[in-house]
Amino acid sequence: MGHCYHCRMVSCVLCVLLVLSIVLCAHGEDDFQWTQTDRGSFYYGTFPPTFMWGVGSSAYQTEGAWDSDGKGKSIWDVFTHKKGKVYMNQTADSSCDGYYKVKDDLALLKELNVSHYRLSISWPRIIPTGVRAEHVNEKGIQYYNDLIDTLLENKIIPMITLYHWDLPQNLQEKSNGWQNISIVTYFNDYANLCFERFGDRVKHWITFNNPWSVAVEGFETGEHAPGFKLSGTGAYKATHNMIKAHARVWHTYSKNWRSKQKGMVGISLTTEWGEPVDLSSQKDIEAAERFVQFHFGWFANPLYNGDYPQIMKEYIGQKSAQQGLGISRLPTFTSQEKSYIKGACDFLGVGHFTTRYITNRNFPSTQGPNYFTDRDLRELVDPKWPEPESKWVYSVPWGFRRLLNFVKTQYGNPLVFVTENGLSEKMHCAQLCDEWRIQYLKGYINEVLKAMKDGVNIQGYTAWSLMDKFEWDEGFSERFGLYYVEFRNKNKPRYPKASVQFYKKVIGASGFPNVREVEKWHRLSTESCSTTNQLLAAEEQRNAAANILRLIHDPLVSHMEMVTEIVVPTVCTLCILISAILLMILLRRQI
């Protein structure tokens, strides 16, 4: 009897110790170590053989054919057709003509030897009014069927985004789009149609791409379609409905399609990393955490933990009360909704481009409702960081590893796909020797490798983007592509930048095997672009000559068009020639 009692006591003690260890481990996972900043040197090593390598694009930015074959209008079609909304009043009416150039673009994907291609479906192309019960456009369905089949025939996995910002305009006019709860049903019907028609072949579904931009730039600042400035309220309401829409679609897939199609449904959240300016300042650490929670946690926390981040609820609630409002401007989920939303994600897509330093700053509530002042922080950049090719994308690779580790600790180490990562440049002259992009990709992909060593559960990487395309309110002035697109040429030819060869080598070796190999790739990549640069320069000269002849015969061509299409390239060419002459003079003097 005594022996049994002793056994029971030992068992009880062991159980208690086991429970304590589980609690301690769980507690440890909840705490991201803000003060641990091991950036380390470049790490040479390779990814697992099963790691997926890809590139991405989106329907509105590349397809063109904005009113062809039964496609309905999107909010971006309407937005860009209004003067003053986009740089130089440019539109994506034709963009890269991707709708007509599937075979051409497949050749680019094959050249890169990617394992997956991330693309989006245009909701108004397959459901012109946005309402499935009204009309399904079979020509649009056929286009995506053919595209998916073509990819699979060439052993390229399609990773498809359902919503990359191009809401059917009819839904915006009919029910106020993402501001109205009815959008959840319309989006679910659209997603269900996609699962029905394409799900037998598509196994990776992303509901939303960067919903932060949809909410904040569409409904807070008005920089993006539909262009509303509902300060301090619109972005929160749009987000609330997008989270509900995502959860609804995930449950629809689980109920109706998962057992047959064996696919996954996730979401792609894009965020900058926020690093405390002063790691010894608790206020700066808290401000950096607010930055990430207001940006990334706003969407991820409900899906993984069942509700908005506590810090968002506290800050927005306090500001709302100080502004004399009876309830918080941040909407609330019912207990039933929390249970429904929590866990509704098979994988987490992480998009990332750059980092900011963050410091605390108190904004008085008297300034009125505003998403940005709700956060009580200030964003800074380090003057030591390399000057960016584009005004906002500073290359800060170590921030990516920090973000990925934050995801691991905050959300229970979910399955992660890097869904967007890349660098843009702003220039009017063609430049294929994109040394800066090679350095960026090398640094950021290496931080993904380091994060995997840290134990982050990453299964794939997607470079953004396959080719230059329409960049929203920046028009065609900002170029993210691995391939240069000559938009002034009616055939929209694609030319490989040096980064194509470098990324291709990284994919082929699945990482960075050793110093000598990586240096060799770098050298060969930059050498390869010179010949293509000469071909492109010749093409531009022919275009310039054609434009001059057109101007002579067409006095109605605007002065602005003349400046952008003729004067700027001509000035660029002259600058290059003058620079070469000056360099020769300088070299002769030194001799």
Positions marked active-site:
420
Give the up-direction half-sphere exposure of residue 52: CA atoms within 13 A in the CB hemisphere: 23
Which phi and psi angles does 35 have, rounded to 5°? -90, -5
Please compute Rg for the chain using Cα positions.
Answer: 26
Phi and psi at 64, nearest 5°, equal 65, -145
| Residue whose pair of structure tokens reads 């693309």 in the numeric block | 119
Helix (H, G, I), strand (E, B) or coil at 359: strand
Q: Spell 381-394 as b/e; 16+ CB within 10 A means b.
A: eeeeeeebbbeebb
**DSSP assignments along 115-180, one per residue:** SEEEEE--HHHHSTTS-TTT---HHHHHHHHHHHHHHHHTT-EEEEEEESS--BHHHHHHH-GGGS
Helix (H, G, I), strand (E, B) or coil at 467: strand
CA distance 504 to 115: 11
Write down the residue that tokens 């456009």 correspond to: 137
Strand pairing class (494-496; 204-209): unpaired
Bridge-based pairing state of the strands 52-56 and 494-496: unpaired
Render 217-286 in DSSP notation, one character per residue.
Answer: HHHTS--STT----TTTHHHHHHHHHHHHHHHHHHHHHHHTHHHH--EEEEEEE--EEEES-TT-HHHHH
CB 390 within 8 A of CB 397: no
Residues 305 and 286: their CA atoms lie apart, in Å, by 20
Number of residues in the chain? 591
Integer Cα distance of 323 and 231 in angstroms: 13
Local structure of residue 88 (DSSP, 8 states): G
Bridge partners for 461 per DSSP: 53, 418
Question: What do you get for the CA distance between the two ends of the chain, in Å?
Answer: 101
Q: Closest Cα to residue 371, out of 522, 230, 266?
A: 230
Q: Which two tokens stand for residue 535?
A: 């071909």
Sorted by sequence, the CB contacts under 8 Å of residue 232 that are 6+ apart come out as 220, 329, 368, 369, 370, 371, 374
Residue 77: φ, ψ to 5°: -60, -45
Q: Is the dihedral of CA 447, 449, 453, 456 positive or negative?
A: positive
Q: Cβ(459)–Cβ(116) under 8 Å?
A: no
Read off the tokens for 478.
Answer: 């900002």
Candidates 395, 356, 359, 378; CA nearest to 277 is 359
